[in-house]
Chain A
Amino acid sequence: MEEKKNTKGKSLPWFGIPALGRFLKPYRRRIAGMVLLGSVSSLIDSIYPLFNKHILNVNVGGMTLKGLPLTLLLYLLILGFQVWDNYITMFLCSRLELWMNRDLRDAVFGHVQTLSFSYFNQNSVGYIHSRVMSDTGKIGELVSWRMMDFVWNFAYILSVVVVMFLTDVRLAMFILALVPIAVLIILFFQKKLVVLNHRVREINATITSDFNEGITGVRSIKALAAEEKLFGDFRGDTKDMEKAAVKTARNSALFSSSVTMFSALALALVLWQGGMLNQQNLMRIGTLSVFLSYALGIMDPIQNVINTLSALITIQVNIERVTRLLGTESDVKDSPEVIRTYGDSFFPKKENWEPLDGHIEFRDVSFRYPDGEEMVLEHFNLDVPQGASVAIVGETGAGKSTLVNLVCRFFEPTQGQVLIDGRDARERSQLWLHSHIGYVLQTPHLFTGTVRENLCYGNPDATDAQIMEALALVSADQVVNRLEKGLDSEVGEGGSNLSTGERQLISFARAILADPRILVLDEATSSVDTVTEKTIQEATKKVTQGRTSFLIAHRLSTVTDCDTILAVKDGKIVEQGTHHELMEQKGYYYQLVMQQYEDEQIASMWGKDA
């Protein structure tokens, strides 16, 4: 679905190649060199049969070895030159591919870092990931190997045609007359095979997802005694696969057989016509042999040229996706004046940064998500003094993150202002703001690497003493002590070597080390054992002290001390006040608290006689 939405829009001219101009430009000299060397190599390929002709006509025909050493020496020289030429071309070509890949990937990745959250909401991680990893690779291959293939084959065809015409116009015409028919046949099969291959890939994907279903859904399958039914469906898919794959193979076999037939036709023509010329003493044996090898060798290059052209059409989609991504602008952008003073995300001018106190004010803020229809905030006002704490409560999926998104300037208000220390948030750079924010996520996100690297994420210059202090503050020091290599232990991909609770504590310590003025805590819904939960609650209290903090809370017991509590329902703030005020109101917050109280009571009851 996503795919379709994103591939719409106008097609780029010239298969999108000009859009890659800025990436190709630095390598234009190398590309020119490649084209030149590649053409020379093809030219040499096309003159090899001439050696044969010469030896046949002069030496074999004349029964003499005179001049043979010289001929062979020349052959050896040319061979040596061509091997060198090919080696260099390949060197240049592979470098070009790899450099292009690197440049494109760096550019796309770097650009993604600047895109706003609305882009991430509208495009899945998988989609963006494919742009970074696979599209760039395909484009790199296109501009290097595919292009080189084209040069090699095209140059070969061109030089063979020239040599043929120079040798014998009549025979050359015979062979050339066959070319248009061959092209038509190749085009016909190409088109058909693209469709057939697509179908095979589709069924293949279905079969993989069948396996996935059979394995992840095994409990349901067994409980329903549905093994036979599902196996029947699966067999239907494998049968389709067999049919489609055999049909595809049959067509491609027909294709390659027709191409060989065509070469044979050319061969037969040359043998017949050339033989007659020879009989009339109009053509020598050696010349005939040259034509025989050309007749056999020209069909493959024609097929290759057509292959390259069809690849170009396929890869156009990838080029378009990448250029569209690079052309997407963030809807949260710093103005040029702000960048001039504060720098941008990659080149900050820290010397101009003011300190941040943490006084935040929402002034008449209305907000609608860029992809949403409804206003989720309307004329909202809230003053959060420096060091105050705000709790946001409500059910899962009620839209509790909205306010935090605005404070962090992940989104900007549709109307009104968010003021930070009395000035509109837009008057200072995003990086300035973000450098003063600590963020502890619901599902703590750690990066592959060591514990130290993760802890220093927000403060690369932290000393070991500072790190240990921060760890101790949230009782995470025992986690590190338990690990074999201490701070230098690997956390695994996404922190998989640590338990959820441990990851949570590490991410607390990470936030403390950054020493932020504003702290955002997105509390975990996942269940951790009671001891860990206690530790985390203690940590929460310590971390929020003296900092302006926003708590997105699920366990309501943690928010009773907060200065302001906002209750959110269906995306909108329905109640606002302190714990006591809201309890007195006996509204939505009261309901949530009572519900949770009941659940906790029941849970504790089960523990009693354990």
Chain B
Amino acid sequence: MEKTEPKQIPGASVPDKKTSAVTLILKFLKGSKGLFLLSIFFAATMSFLELVNPRLIAYTVDSVLGDREPDLPRIMQRVMDLVGLGDPAFLRPRLYLIAIAVLVVALLSALCRYLFRTFNSRAEERMVRNMRERLYDHIIHLPITWHNRNQTGDIIQRCTSDVDTIRNFLSEQLVTLVRVVILIVLAIWFMAGVHVGLTVVAVLLVPFIIGYSLYFHNKIGESFQHVDEMEGRLSAMAQENLAGVRVVRAFGREKYEKDRFEKMNETYMNTWIHLMKLLSRFWALGDLTSGLQVLLIVLAGAILCVRGELTAGEYIAFISYNAMLTWPVRMLGRVISDMSKAGISIERIRYIIDSVPEEPQAPVPERVPDFSGDITFDHVSFGYEQEEVLRDVSFTLPGGRTLGILGGTGSGKSTLVQLLDRLYDLDADQGAIRIDGVDIRELPRKVLREHVGMVLQEPFLFSGSLEENILLTLERGTGKEQERKEYRQKRLHQAASVAALEDTVRKFAKGYDTYVGERGVTLSGGQKQRTAIAQVLVSRPPIMIFDDSLSAVDAQTDAYIRKQLQKTQAGTTTILISHRISTLMKADLICVLDHGRVAELGTHAQLMEKGGIYRQIYDLQKPEM
């Protein structure tokens, strides 16, 4: 990922910061740290409780059924005495009491398991939510220049799969690591409580198991990556074939494609076979070492029993502790190798979080202008990266009047109005844009944008109903529920009727409840543009910009909408961009932009008189008056 330094943004000149990975993680853990600690606590308690029952069984076998002196750990013996189960003689005719004790311990450990998993998931989900919200909030506040520089797919991947990697790291791997370590320590401790020598035999193979687990997991990880890559290639090949079905058929290359796919498929399969070989070897080795370890313990245990150094009950207990040791030890290698992956994801997310948003702190304006005042462009020059787009543009649009902008492709029309809305910012030496005498750089963006309603050339509709889209920015209003509802409906229909949307919507079976956007009904270009117009009209901004917003609408509807606008939006300062003369000719002021320069400026009559580009285009289009 190429990372260019973001351009300095005036009014928001905070240096590019560098958050450390730990700070970032702590930030994400805000509000879930306590939950994580609770989950670890219950995990530890659970592990502890799981070790009690084997001891209880040993006690029963040795002292209750057999006649040996009880040999329980001191705490356990004390608890047993406390509940009146400390005396084997008392228990001998009442075996059901032991069964109940086993059940009680199991119940407690099941309860801990439940609490551990519940707290863990609560912590995990809280943290993921926190991460996602921070990212989303941050991303929508990052400047357009940042969005232009970064690819959508890449950012989305960072917000989804990298977030999942970090989630796994914190909630699964970290917690597992803690649990595994606790389990290993407890198991060894309990085993040592039974017989130290035998414990040494039991852990003899542990370093070896951890070692080869690490080795295999690293190799398996690499192999998995390879498989992923190959799958990606095979998938892309299928995708290309399906998308290019016309070419394949027209050239009669079905056989070639089939052969090619089969070859690639075979290669893909072979990478899997390689991976499976590794896995089977790993598993077989695991089975073998576990089996050998049990063999060693059985051998040593039996010898000790025969020598009288170990009781039958202790022997049984030891075997069950040993079973508890096997899983965590095998797990350890895996967790360690997985954890290394999280570092990359944290780095990728940090890239987003460390980018500076548009308005880190909202500046307090000295004076809020009257937005129905004059708009002045004062020697404005602007460019993206190296390319110059606007050159020394100056004009004044009196408040409440209409400006028409005519220009060819790449003349800078859209840039001009986007500067007015501060989608891009002018540097100090690039001139100034003023509304009612106030430099717009001194205004908080939110305030400015709420007063400047802009309809984009290619408007974006959000997933939701048409109504939700149109009423997107209309404040909820005050008063009774019913009144608010009526008020909103009124505004909806007013805006829609000006945008010539009412008839169209009536044809939809669900009317304004029709679902649009990514997973909804696909609207035509014209319908989208008209929805976007209604969307802006609803909040009645004092300044309105139409950036070629009627290009996909037929001439008749175009005229109708303009007439409606004139009627209902009197007093609104309006900027119209179009390449249809008929759209612009009635404007109070017309600006002809050519390659970033103001080529002509004046009223329709003045420009006709002048006989420049405007006149020539007029003659070609010959709009009906």
B312 touches A61 (CB 8 A): yes
Residues of A near B243 (CB, < 8 A) are 125, 445, 494
How many whole Å from B326's CB to the nearest CB in chain A? 13
Q: Mark B453-485, 1 if CB is under 8 A from A, else 0.
A: 110100110110000000011000000000000
> Is B83 part of the binding interface, using a Cβ–Cβ cutoff of 8 Å?
no
Tell me if B536 is interfacial: C-beta within 8 Å of chain A: yes
- Name the residue on B nearest A263 (C-beta): B106
Contact A133 B312, beta carbon cutoff 8 Å: no
Within 8 A of A (CB), among B227-276: 234-258, 261-262, 265-266, 269, 272-273, 276
The answer to the question of A258 belonging to the interface, with a C-beta cut-off of 8 Å to chain B, is yes
For residue B505, give the distance in angstroms from its CB to the closest CB of chain A.
20
Is the pair B295, A79 in contact by a Cβ cutoff of 8 Å? yes
B262's nearest neighbour on chain A, judged by CB, is: A106
Question: Is A82 in contact with B287, judged by CB distance below 8 angstroms?
Answer: yes
Kindly state the separation between the CA atoms of A112 and B241 in the bound complex, as whole angstroms: 10
Q: Evaluate contact between B111 and A98: CB separation under 8 angstroms.
A: no
In this complex, how many residues of chain B approach chain A with their Cβ under 8 Å: the count is 138
Minimum C-beta distance from B394 to chain A (A): 19
> Once bound together, how far apart are the Cα atoms of A377 and B319, in whole Å?
83
A423 near B: Cβ within 8 Å? no
Asked if B15 is an interface residue, CB under 8 A from chain A, the answer is no
Q: Are A101 and B408 in contact (CB under 8 A)?
A: no
Q: Mark A316-331, 1 if CB is under 8 A from B, else 0.
A: 0000000000000000
B291 and A83 contact, CB distance less than 8 A: yes
Given contacts A218-B144, A246-B125, A435-B252, contact A275 B287 (CB under 8 A): no
Interface hits, B274-303 → A, CB 8 Å: 276, 279-281, 283-284, 287-288, 291-292, 295, 298-299, 302-303
Bound-state CA distance A131–B78 (Å) is: 64
Set A101, A207, A441: member contacting B269, Cβ < 8 A: A101
Least Cβ–Cβ distance between B604 and chain A, in angstroms:
17
Assembled-state Cα–Cα distance A288/B57 (Å): 11
Does residue B176 face the partner (Cβ distance < 8 Å to A)? no
Is the beta-carbon distance between A275 and B95 smaller than 8 angstroms? yes
Q: Is the CB of B312 within 8 A of A346?
A: no
Q: Which of A95, A219, A494, A598 has the most CB of B within 10 A?
A: A219
Docked CA distance A433–B252 (Å): 8
Report the separation of the CA atoms of residues A424 and B465 in the bound assembly, to the nearest whole angstrom. Answer: 52
Interchain CB contact under 8 A, B121 and A249:
yes
Q: Is the CB of B125 within 8 A of A60?
A: no
- Does A335 interact with chain B (Cβ within 8 Å)? no
A102's partner among B114, B136, B266, B276 (CB-CB below 8 A) is B266
Q: Does B156 contact A (CB under 8 A)?
A: yes
Q: Is the CB of A219 within 8 A of B456?
A: yes
Contact A227 B315 (CB under 8 A): no
**Contact across chains for A441 and B256 when beta carbons are under 8 A apart:** no
Identify which of B99, B136, B281 contacts A268 (C-beta below 8 A): B99
Q: Give the complex CA separation of A82 and B240 in angstroms.
A: 46
> Which residues on the B side are within 8 Å of A109 (C-beta)?
238, 241, 258, 261-262, 265
> What residues of chain A lie closer than 8 Å to B89, measured between beta carbons?
none
Residues of chain B contacted by A76 (CB below 8 angstroms): 295
Using C-beta atoms within 8 Å of the partner chain, give the interface range for chain A: 35 or more
A249 close to B118 (CB less than 8 A) = yes
For A55, list chain B residues within 8 Å (CB): 298, 302
**Set A114, A269, A278, A514: member contacting B99, Cβ < 8 A:** A269
Q: How far is the CB of A376 from chain B (nearest CB, A)?
A: 18
Is A16 part of the contact surface with B, judged by Cβ < 8 Å?
no
Residues of B within 8 A of A265 (CB): 103, 106
Q: Chain A 435-469 against B: per-residue CB contact (8 Å), 1 yes, 0 no?
A: 10111010001011000000001101000000000
Complex: A598 Cα to B241 Cα, angstroms: 40
> Closest Cβ of chain A: how far from B212's Cβ, in Å?
15
Contact of B100 among A268, A447, A605 (CB under 8 A): A268
A493 at the interface (CB under 8 A from B): yes
Residue contact A231 to B248, C-beta cutoff 8 Å: no
Instruction: Give the CA-CA distance A514 to B261 in the complex, in Å.
Output: 22
For chain B residues 152-183, which have a beta carbon within 8 Å of chain A? Answer: 152, 155-156, 159-160
Q: Could you tell me the distance between the alpha carbons of A207 and B141 in the complex, rounded to whole angstroms? A: 18
Contact between A275 and B449, CB atoms less than 8 A apart: no
**Given A98-B273, A253-B117 in contact, is the A242-B456 Cβ separation under 8 Å?**
no
**B110 x A602 contact (CB < 8 A):** no
CB-defined contacts of A457 to chain B, threshold 8 Å? 247, 251, 253, 256
Q: Are A129 and B245 in contact (CB-based, < 8 A)?
A: no
Q: Are B306 and A65 in contact (CB under 8 A)?
A: yes
Q: Nearest-CB distance from B224 to chain A (Å)?
A: 14
Check if A257 is an interface residue, CB within 8 A of chain B.
yes
Q: Among the listed A242, A253, A447, which residue makes an inter-chain contact with B129, where contact means beta carbons less than 8 Å apart?
A: A242
Contacts of B599 in A (CB 8 A): 609
Tell me if B139 is interfacial: C-beta within 8 Å of chain A: yes
A276-B579 contact, Cβ under 8 Å, with A52-B319, A208-B160: no
| Cβ-defined contact, A229 with B472, below 8 A | yes
Q: Which of A79-132 contact B (CB under 8 A)?
A: 79, 82-83, 86-87, 90-91, 94-95, 98-99, 101-102, 105-106, 109-110, 112-114, 117, 120, 125, 128-129, 132
Indicate if the CB atoms of A68 and B287 lie closer than 8 Å: no
Asked whether B121 lies within 8 Å of A250 as measured between CB atoms, the reply is yes
Chain A residue nearest to B581 (CB atoms) is: A602
Q: Which of A125, A288, A348 has the most CB of B within 10 A?
A: A125
Q: A65-B302, A94-B280 are in contact. Are A224 and B117 (CB under 8 A)?
A: no
A288–B472 CB distance below 8 A: no
Say yes or no: is A40 at the interface (Cβ < 8 Å to chain B): no
B139 touches A214 (CB 8 A): yes
CB neighbours (8 Å) of A261 from chain B are 106-107, 110
Assembled-state Cα–Cα distance A437/B246 (Å): 11
- How far does the alpha carbon of A227 sit from the alpha carbon of B142 in the complex, in Å? 11
User: A292–B57 contact, CB under 8 A?
Assistant: yes
In chain A, positions 211-241 with a C-beta closer than 8 Å to chain B are 211-227, 229-231, 234-235, 238-239, 241
Decide if B210 is an interface residue (CB 8 Å cutoff). no
Q: Is there an interface contact between B302 and A98, defined as CB atoms closer than 8 Å?
A: no
Assuming the A-B contacts A230-B462, A239-B129, are A211 and B156 also in contact, with contact meaning beta carbons closer than 8 angstroms in the complex? yes
Contact A272 to B421, CB < 8 A, known contacts A242-B125, A257-B111, A261-B106: no
Stretch at the interface among B3-11, B192-200, B334-342, B612-620: B612-620
Output the least CB separation between B451 and chain A (Å).
Answer: 9
B123-154, CB < 8 A from A: 124-126, 128-129, 132-133, 135-137, 139-142, 144, 147, 152
Binds A, one of B59-67, B374-382, B488-496, B565-573: B59-67
**A34-77 at interface with B (beta carbon < 8 Å):** 51-52, 55-56, 59-61, 63-65, 68, 72, 75-76
Expressed in whole angstroms, the Cα–Cα distance for A235 and B155 within the complex equals 19
A154 at the interface (CB under 8 A from B): no
A235 contacts B65, C-beta separation under 8 Å: no
Q: Does the CB pair A60–B106 fall under 8 Å?
A: no
Q: Is the CB of B136 within 8 A of A132?
A: no
Contacts from A to B (Cβ < 8 Å): 51-52, 55-56, 59-61, 63-65, 68, 72, 75-76, 79, 82-83, 86-87, 90-91, 94-95, 98-99, 101-102, 105-106, 109-110, 112-114, 117, 120, 125, 128-129, 132-133, 207-227, 229-231, 234-235, 238-239, 241-242, 245-246, 248-250, 252-254, 256-258, 260-261, 263-265, 267-269, 271-272, 275-276, 278-279, 285, 288-289, 292, 345-348, 408, 410, 430-431, 433-435, 437-439, 441, 445, 447-448, 457-458, 460, 493-494, 514, 520, 598, 601-603, 605-610
Give the 8 A-B CB pairs with smallest separation, nearest first: A264-B106, A606-B408, A249-B121, A434-B252, A439-B250, A253-B117, A225-B449, A272-B99
8 extra interface residue pairs, beta carbon distance < 8 Å, beyond A72-B298, A99-B269, A408-B249: A79-B288, A94-B272, A94-B279, A133-B234, A230-B462, A234-B133, A249-B118, A289-B61
Instruction: Return 21 A-B CB contacts under 8 Å, by A number.
Output: A59-B305, A60-B305, A72-B295, A94-B279, A112-B242, A117-B249, A211-B160, A218-B147, A219-B423, A223-B421, A241-B129, A254-B114, A257-B113, A265-B106, A272-B96, A275-B60, A430-B252, A457-B251, A457-B256, A460-B256, A601-B620
